[in-house]
Chains A and B, each alone.
Chain A
Amino acid sequence: MSWLSRLNPRGPGTRTGRHAAPTSPCTADPETCLMVFENHWRQVSRVLKQRESSVGGYADDLTAVRNHTDQMLCLLAEERPAGGDIDSPVGPILKMVVAENILDELVQWHVRRGLDPDSQLELLKLFEMLIGQSHQPLLLHSAVLQPLLNLLGACVDPQLGSPPALESSLVLLLNQVCVCMAKETAVLELIFRCGLVQQGPTNLLIFSLLVPFIHRDGSLGQQARDALLLVMATSASNHSVARHIAENSYFCPVLATGLSALYSSLPRKIEVRGDDWHALRREDWMAVSSLVLFMNSLEFCNAVVQVAHPLVRCQLLDYLHNGFLVPVMGPALHKSSVDEMIASTAYLDLFLRSITETSLLKTFLRFILLHRHDNDTILDTLLTRISSNSRLCMVSLSLFKTLLSLNCEDLMLQLVLRYLLPCTHVMLSQRRAVRETDLYGKSADKFLSLIPECCRITPAPSSERDDEPAFWGKVLGSPTSESPVHPRPSTPSRLALFIRQQSSGGQAIPPSSGSENAPSSPRGSVSSPLSPDSPVHQLPDTSEGETGYLEYLRDARKGIELCSWACRDWSAPYDGENPSPNSAPPPPPPPTSHPSLNMVQEHFSIMDRPQQRGAVVAAARAEWSSSDRDSGEWDVTISKNCISLTPRSKKRSLLSSSIPLQSSSSASVSTEMTGAVETVSQHSHSAPHTALYNGMGQVELTDSVDEKMEVKKVKRDSDVNNSMVESGMNGSMGIGSVDYNDFHVGSTMKSSQVQVKPHLQHQTSVPTSTQECLESESQRLSPVPALTETSTVPCDSRGPESVERLIEELLERAPSEPLTGDSKCQGISIEAFHQELRELEERVRERRVLSRSSEESSREYRTAPTPSLTDEDCLPVEIEQRSSETKPESYATGVFSPARPLGPPLAQPYTGPFITVLFSKLESMMQNSLYVNILLTGVVFQLACYPQPLLRSFLLNTNMVFQPSVKSLIQVLGSVKNRIEAFAATHEDFPAMLRKARRFLVARGKLDWSDSPIGVPTLRRSDSLIKSRKPSLGDLILRHTNSPTRARHAAQLALAHVRDGGQSLHSALFRGGAAGGASGLEKQAEALRVKNAVYCAVIFSEFLKELAALAQEHSVALPFPPSQGAEE
C-alpha cells in the first residue's frame, strides 16, 4: 500500500490550469503588486461599506466584488515571502491582508449578504486556489485561517454535510488545507484552537467535514482519504488532537461501519472462471467496482493504523472488530448458501493478504481465533469447510494457506500446536525423540518409498548412474562455472506443476510462500516456452529420476528458512519440553472443537436420555427449522420407488455435505451428522438392526458405547420413531450412508460388509451441488410427506429384494477402490456422487420394469480386485479395529462431554481438527480434483515447513511411534499409495495415462493461463453438465457393466484428446460428454473418476518427494536467533 507515498503534497500549481487565474504579474515587483492590490481593495471596500447601509443586494456589487477579489487573491497567491527580513518573512500584501483583516471582511460580507450556492462555490474555489498556490504559509495567519473556517461553517452544516454541488470543490479545498497542514504542523494546532473557540465539540471542522467522504469512490474519495491520512499523520504526535479525533469525531466509527456497509454491497456470489479458481487475485477484483471500493477503504484503514496516533489506532481497531468483523464478517462467513460461503471465505482471504499492518492483522486474527459465532470460533467453522467437496474446499484451503503463511504463533497454537503440546500423541518413551533430527535420511527414505510402484517410470539403473559425470569431482576444474552436466530437472517441481496456484491477491504482498514465487534462475531453463510436442517434454516420461529432487530440496530449504526466520520471535520453541507438556492445558476435545458437533451438543444438552426424546425431539425440530443456523433442514421422502432429499431451506448446504472431520484416529463421532446424511439416517431407523451394523460390522460395542450412541442419536432421531437401533449409530463417519444403504439392503447385507465401506465413503459426502437437483427431483417425483408420515412409512416392503440387489450392484463398484481401514472419511467428487445418487433413484424406480440377474452382479463382484490387506503400514482392518477399540473413550470425552460436564481429563490423544481434516482430505486424494490436491498438498507442505520440533516430528519423523489411536501422515499416505496401486492394477493403460497427465501438468505449469482462456474450461460448463445429467434407462443398464474396461475406454477416449498437447486434459474430458448422450454422460462420470485418480497419482508422487525433501532439509537447517527488538 503506497499510502505514504501519496502523502506527498501536491506541488503548488499542479492545477493552475484548472482555475483560470487572471494573468498574474509574476514578474512585477512587489511594490507594484501591493499597489495594485491596494487599489482593488479600495474598490471592494467601497462596495462593502455601501452594503452596510443599504439592504438590498445588487448583482453589480457582487460581480464587482468578485472580480476584484479574484485579482486580489491572485496577487496574494503569487506573492513571494519577503526576502531578507528573516523575522517576519511575510510579503507586503499578506502583511496588509493580516493587518486589515481583509479576508475576514470579505467573507463576512458574503455571509451577511446571504450566500447563494454559486458564490459559495466561487469562494471555495478562490480559497482553494489561494491555499494551493500560495508561496507563503498563509494558514499560519489566523487572518486567513479564520475566514476560511467561517466560510466552511457557512457553506456546510457539519451535521448534514455539504450540498452535492459543492462536494468536489470542498474536498479539494480541504485536501489543500491538509497538505498545508502536513507541511506546517503548526497549522493543525491553529486549526484546532480556532475551532475550539468557535465550534465547541466539533471543533476540528476540517476533519469532520472530510469524514463523510471516507468511503466515496473515485477521485473525490481518494482526495478525502488522502487528506484525512495527512491529518492522521500530522496528529500522530499531537495527543490532544488525537484525543479529539477519538472522542469527539466520528472518524473511527464511520470508517469501521463504512466497511460494513461496503461489505454488504459486495457480490454474494463470485463468478468463477476456471475450475482451478480458489482465491481472489488482484486482477480478479479490480474489475468489481464494489470490491475496489471496499479494498480502497480497507487499505485506508490499514494506512490509518499505520500512521495514526495510538489512541486513534486503538479506537479504530476496536471499531473494526466490533463494528465490522463481528457483526458483518462473522455472519457472512456463516451464511448458508455455498456461494455466499465461498465468497465470504475468499473475501476474508483477500483481506488477510492485503493487510500489512501488524496490529490490524492482529485484530483480524483475534477475530478468527477467539470470536465465537454461535458457539464456535470462526477458525473452527472455517476448518470444517475444508472437508467440503466443492469449491468451498479450495477457497478454504487457500485461506488456510494464507493463514499459515503468516507464521503467527497464536494461530499455530490454536490450529495445531495446542493439540500436540501435551505430547500425548507420542508414546511416553518417544517423547525425547520429538527433538531429534533425522540425521540419516530415514524419514525421507520412507516417504520416497511410498511412491507407488506404478508411478515410477523406469529410472535409470543405478549402475548407469555411476557413469553419470555429475558429481563433485567433475566440476573441480571449473569451480566458478555452472556445471555443464547439470541435468535439466526432469521432474516438475511444485513450481512447475503448480505455477497456476499463485495468487497474489494482496497488492503489496508478494506471495509469501517461497515455493511458489516467481521462478528463480535455475528454473528459467525449464520454463522456456516449448511446444508440448517438443522432445523436452518427453523428459519427464523417460528419465524420471532423482534430478527433479534437487528442485524440491531447494524449495524445501527456502520454505523452512523463511518459516523459521519468521518464527524466530515466538515465545517458545515447542520442542516437547518448552512449553512443558505437563503444564500445557488440555486441548479441547475433538467434538467440541467442531462446530457442527457443537450444534449437536446444544441439542443434546437438554435431552440426554431416550425417554425424553419424544418431547425434546419435537422441540429440537422446531428449533432447527426456525434456527438461523445451519441445521438439518432436510426432508427425506421415502416412498416405494423413490428416495428424495429435500432441503428444507437454503440454509444448511455446506455442513451437511462436508465429509466427516474425524478420521478413525480420533475415532470420535463425526461431526457431520447433519443435513442430508443425517436425515437419511433418521429414516433408516426403520431398517433392521443388523443392517445398521454393517458399516462397522466387526465392532463390538460396549454398553457404554451404546449409551453414548444413544445420546448422539437423539439428534438424528429427532423426529422419527426413536426406538431404533442405537447401536447402529456406531460412530462411523459413514453413518448416514450406512443407513442409507442398509435401509434398502436389509439384513442380507452382512456378507458384503467389506465392500460397504468404500462405497460409504462416497455417500458420506453428499455434495451440496446436488441439492438443488435433488430438490427438484423430489418435487417432481413425489410430494414431500409430512414428517410424521415419513417416520411411519416403512421401507418399500414390496421390493426389498430388488432394492437389495440394486445396492449390491452399487457396492460392486466399490472394490475398484482399494479398501482401507480409514476409508470412511473418503469423499468422492461431486459429480460422481451425484451420478450415483441419481442412479440410485432412477434404478429404484426402474426396478420393477427391469430385473437383472443377481448372478451377474455377483460375478462382477468377484472380478473386482481384492484390496490388499497386507500392507504393513496401513493395514486397513487393523486400523479399523484399533480405532474401534478406542472409540469408547473418544465418545466419553467427546460427544458426551456436554452431558457429563465433569468428565475425566482427556485421555485419548487428539491431534486437532486441522490435522484431522487435512488428513482425511489427503486420504481421499484419489477422489479429489486435481486442484484440490494441489492446494491440499501445498497446505501440508507449508505446515511441514514449520521448524517447531513438535510439529516437525509429528508430520515428518516417520520413525516416531505414536499412540495407536493417532494416525500419522505416513499412515495416511500409505493408504493412498495402496489405493493408487490398486487403481493402477485395474487399468492397463495406467502408465500411458500417467504420462499424459504428467505431460499436461508440466505443460500447464509452463502455460501462462491468463492469455489462453480457451484452454481453461469454465466451471459453468461442467456445472451445467452436472445439472443436465439425467440418466436414462439405457444409461442405467449400461452402468451395470461398469467395469475397468469401460473406464479404460472412457479414459482413453478422453485422454486421446490430449495427445497433441494442445488440449487441456480437462476440456478434453469434459468435451467428451458435452454431446449429452446417455452413454456420454456415463463415460464422463467414469472418466472423471479416472482423471482424478490419475492426476492424484502424479501429485501424490511429487508430494512425497516434497515431503522427503522437507525431512532432509529440516535435518540440516540452522535456527535463526531471535531478533533483538526491531529488525528493520
Chain B
Amino acid sequence: MNPFWSMSTNAGRKVNYGSAPRSDGEEQVGQGEQKSSPARPSFGKKQLPSIPKNAVPITKAASPAPSTQSANGTHASYGPFYLEYSLLAEFTLVIKQKLPGIYVQPSYRSALMWFGVIFIRHGLYQDGVFKFTVYIPDNYPDGDCPRVVFDTPVFHPLVDPVSGAGVRRAFTKWRRNHNHIWQVLMYARTVFYKINTMDPLNPEAAVLYDKDIQLFKSKVVDSVKLCNSHLFDQPKIDDPYAISFSPWNPAVHEEAKEKMFAHKRRPEDYNKGLPVSGLSWVKPGSTQPFSKEDNPLQT
C-alpha cells in the first residue's frame, strides 16, 4: 500500500533524497546534506543544495539588526555571520542527532526558515508523511521557540486544524544554550507516537482521543490519507530548496539513490594525493607515542 515515494525538489535539481518509508533502520537526517557551509561558490546541477551564499549572509527578515552583539563597535558588521553560523551550528546539531525519519533543509531564501518532512513508521499515524516548515524567530537565539507548521494540518490534538501550527507548546521559554532546534524536531516526531492531549490546539481531536479512541483512529487514518494524497503537490512555499515529492522515476531517482548510498564525505580539497592518511601509532587507550607496535611490518 505504500508507493515507493521519492522526494525531489523542484527546479530540476537532482537530490540525493530517497527514502524507504517503511524501513525502520536508522536513517540519517538531512542525508544529502553533506555540509551546509557558507560561501559555496556555485551550485550546479550535481551539487547538493545548500544554503546559497553568494552574498554576505543576511537573514531575510532581519529588519532590525538582530543580534545583540552587532550593536557594539566595528565588528558589528560581522553580526550577520553570527546569526548565520548559529543557525548553521543548529543545523549541524540536527544532523549529528540523526533523528529517525526526519529530514530538514534550510530554505534558499532565509536561514530562518527550514523545510522538513517527517515519516511516521508505526503507531496510529503509521505511513504518515507530513511536510512541515520550521520558522525561527529572527531574534534567535533570544526569541521564542521556533514554530513548526505542518503544510497540511494533520488531525492531531497538538496540531492546529486550521493553521497547522503545532509543537511549540513544549518549549514555553526558549533558552539559548539549552534549547536547540533538534529538540523541537524530536518533539514533533514524538507527539505522533505518544499522543498527549494536554492543552490541545485541536480540542476536538483531544476529546476524541480521550473519549472515543476508535473514532479518533479512523479520523487519523483519514487524515493521514489526506496528507499523503497531497504529497505530490507543489510546495506551498515557492523556494528552490523546498521539499517536493514526485513519483518514483528511475531515470532521475535511481542514480540519486545510488549516490546517496555510495556517498562518502570527503574534504572539499581532497583528491590531491595529500599525505593525510591520519597518521597515528598510538595504541587506543594509551597516551604514549608509538605505542601501537602490533605489526612492525605495517603497511
Partner-B contacts on A (CB < 8 A): 310, 313-314, 356, 358-359, 361-362, 365-366, 369-370, 406-411, 413-414, 417-418, 421, 437-442, 444-445, 448-449, 451, 453, 456, 459-460, 462, 465-466, 468-476, 479-480, 482-483, 485-487, 508-510, 512, 514, 517, 520-522, 545-547, 549-550, 553-554, 557-558, 561-562, 565-572, 579, 584-585, 1108, 1112-1113, 1115-1118, 1120, 1123, 1126-1127
| Contact among A442, A558, A562 with B276 in the assembled complex (CB-CB below 8 Å) | A562
A219 to B34, CA, bound (A): 50
Nearest A residue (CB) for B71: A462
Chain B residues within 8 Å of A369, by CB: 289-290
* Complex contact B282–A571 (CB within 8 A): yes
| B54 close to chain A: CB less than 8 A | yes
Chain B residues within 8 Å of A485, by CB: 54-55
| B215 close to chain A: CB less than 8 A | no
* Complex contact B37–A565 (CB within 8 A): no
Chain A residues within 8 Å of B86, by CB: 439-441
A998 to B41, CA, bound (A): 26
| B234 close to chain A: CB less than 8 A | no
Chain A residues within 8 Å of B276, by CB: 407, 512, 562, 565-566
* Complex contact B77–A546 (CB within 8 A): yes
* Complex contact A562–B267 (CB within 8 A): yes
* Complex contact A550–B297 (CB within 8 A): no
* Complex contact A521–B85 (CB within 8 A): no
| Contact among B43, B81, B82, B282 with A479 in the assembled complex (CB-CB below 8 Å) | B43
Chain B residues within 8 Å of A508, by CB: 273
| Contact among A411, A413, A451, A470 with B74 in the assembled complex (CB-CB below 8 Å) | A451
Give the Cβ gap from A668 to chain B, nearest Cβ, in Å: 23
Chain B residues within 8 Å of A557, by CB: 37-38, 268
* Complex contact A571–B284 (CB within 8 A): yes
Interface size class of B (residues with CB under 8 A): 35 or more
* Complex contact B274–A472 (CB within 8 A): no
Nearest B residue (CB) for A317: B296
Nearest A residue (CB) for B63: A466
Which stretch, B87-95, B156-164, B248-256, touches the partner chain A?
A: B87-95
* Complex contact B90–A439 (CB within 8 A): yes
Give the Cβ gap from B51 to chain A, nearest Cβ, in Å: 8
Nearest A residue (CB) for B44: A480
Chain B residues within 8 Å of A410, by CB: 279-282, 289-290
- Chain B 247-283, CB-CB to A under 8 Å as 1, else 0, gives 0000000000000000001111110111111111111
How many A-B residue contacts, CB cutoff 8 Å? Answer: 259
A456 to B81, CA, bound (A): 18
* Complex contact B272–A474 (CB within 8 A): no
* Complex contact A1108–B78 (CB within 8 A): yes
- Chain B 85-111, CB-CB to A under 8 Å as 1, else 0, gives 110111110011000000000001111
* Complex contact A472–B57 (CB within 8 A): yes
* Complex contact B297–A314 (CB within 8 A): yes
Nearest A residue (CB) for B74: A456
| B226 close to chain A: CB less than 8 A | no
Contacts A472-B108, A566-B278; A546 near B273 (Cβ below 8 A): no
Partner-A contacts on B (CB < 8 A): 11, 35-39, 41-44, 51-60, 65, 69-70, 72-82, 85-86, 88-92, 95-96, 108-111, 141, 176-177, 240, 265-270, 272-290, 292, 296-299
- 28 residue pairs of the A-B complex, CB under 8 angstroms, read A369-B289, A414-B289, A440-B86, A449-B72, A449-B73, A471-B59, A471-B60, A472-B51, A472-B58, A472-B111, A473-B109, A474-B55, A479-B43, A479-B240, A485-B54, A486-B55, A512-B275, A521-B41, A546-B81, A550-B38, A554-B39, A562-B267, A562-B270, A568-B278, A1108-B78, A1116-B36, A1116-B88, A1117-B35
Give the Cβ gap from B84 to chain A, nearest Cβ, in Å: 9
* Complex contact B280–A479 (CB within 8 A): no
Give the Cβ gap from B141 to chain A, nearest Cβ, in Å: 6
Chain A residues within 8 Å of B41, by CB: 482, 520-522
A-B pairs with lowest CB-CB distance, top 6: A483-B54, A471-B58, A566-B276, A470-B55, A410-B289, A441-B82
Chain A residues within 8 Å of B267, by CB: 514, 558, 561-562, 565
Chain B residues within 8 Å of A406, by CB: 275, 279
A439 to B88, CA, bound (A): 9
* Complex contact A553–B56 (CB within 8 A): no
A571 to B89, CA, bound (A): 26
| Contact among B57, B85, B240, B287 with A471 in the assembled complex (CB-CB below 8 Å) | B57
Nearest B residue (CB) for A1123: B278
* Complex contact A571–B285 (CB within 8 A): yes
A314, A366, A553: most-surrounded residue (chain B CB, <10 A): A553
| Contact among A413, A482, A514, A1116 with B92 in the assembled complex (CB-CB below 8 Å) | A1116
7 further interface pairs, Cβ-Cβ under 8 Å (given A448-B78, A546-B81): A362-B298, A414-B289, A462-B79, A471-B58, A472-B57, A517-B269, A562-B267
A509 to B37, CA, bound (A): 28
* Complex contact B56–A547 (CB within 8 A): yes
* Complex contact A471–B297 (CB within 8 A): no
Chain A residues within 8 Å of B65, by CB: 462, 466
Contacts A410-B279, A418-B287; A1112 near B58 (Cβ below 8 A): no
Give the Cβ gap from B235 to chain A, nearest Cβ, in Å: 15
A775 to B102, CA, bound (A): 76
Chain B residues within 8 Å of A558, by CB: 267-269
* Complex contact A445–B280 (CB within 8 A): no
A475 to B298, CA, bound (A): 53
A440 to B175, CA, bound (A): 12
| Contact among A444, A584, A1118 with B81 in the assembled complex (CB-CB below 8 Å) | A444
* Complex contact B92–A579 (CB within 8 A): no
* Complex contact A561–B268 (CB within 8 A): yes
A103 to B261, CA, bound (A): 64
* Complex contact B280–A571 (CB within 8 A): yes
Chain A residues within 8 Å of B266, by CB: 565
* Complex contact A472–B110 (CB within 8 A): yes
| Contact among A445, A510, A569, A1123 with B274 in the assembled complex (CB-CB below 8 Å) | A510
A441, A444, A456, A1126: most-surrounded residue (chain B CB, <10 A): A441
Chain B residues within 8 Å of A472, by CB: 51-53, 55, 57-60, 108-111
* Complex contact A356–B275 (CB within 8 A): yes
Chain A residues within 8 Å of B96, by CB: 1118
A414 to B35, CA, bound (A): 32
Give the Cβ gap from B31 to chain A, nearest Cβ, in Å: 13
Contacts A409-B280, A482-B54; A562 near B289 (Cβ below 8 A): no
Give the Cβ gap from B93 to chain A, nearest Cβ, in Å: 8
Chain A residues within 8 Å of B54, by CB: 475, 482-483, 485-486
A561 to B37, CA, bound (A): 11
Nearest B residue (CB) for A506: B275
* Complex contact B282–A565 (CB within 8 A): no
A1118 to B265, CA, bound (A): 10
* Complex contact B277–A566 (CB within 8 A): yes
